[in-house]
Amino acid sequence: MDSTITAFRFTLSYAKDLVHDIDDADMAQMPHPGMNHPAWILGHLALGADFVSLLLGGELETDEQWMKTYGPGSQPIDDRSAYASKAELLSLMDQLYERAEKIASAATEEQLAGPNQTPFLVEQFPTVGDLLIHLLTTHPASHLGQLSAWRRCVGKKSVLGV
């Protein structure tokens, strides 16, 4: 789990790098119809980190409105007022990533081997451990790739230099 946690920490750091030079007012800008924008992506990733607790038997910190705005199946809109501020999004990400890291690190082999009983990607991730690894790695990485593409669409440079 140590290497997975290292990758998870990187996704938080990378997310912050990707939005460091984006003005709060531009966080819901949609340069192409249907494109996920920074406000939605950060809120969605915070929720993904929150799901780690739920997956391992805990409670969500986010509420029903957060789920409606940022959850699976939600559709980003270009109304800035519909989303939390950049500062709020980053603060919640910090909080929920730290919590997810602690919870994931404490997961037992028995918990990880249990069946994925969520409605999410059961065929692709049949065990709790499989889905947990996805939530900590490939899920944030895929959305951060969208954020990187968004940056290019609005004329910003790569933060990794590639």
162 pLDDT more than 70: no
Architecture in CATH for domain 2-153 = Up-down Bundle (1.20)
Model confidence at 122, pLDDT cuts 50, 70, 90, reads confident
The reply to whether the predicted model has a pTM over 0.85 is yes
Higher pLDDT, 88 or 159: 88
Three-state SS at 125: coil
Residue 154's pLDDT band (cuts 50, 70, 90): very high
- Structural domain boundaries in the chain: 2-153
pLDDT of residue 80: 97
3-state helix, strand, coil in the chain (%, to 5): 60, 0, 40
C-beta neighbour count of 124 within 10 angstroms:
11
Written as one letter, the residue type at 138 is: T
> CA–CA separation, 122 vs 116, rounded Å?
6
The one-character DSSP state at 115 is B
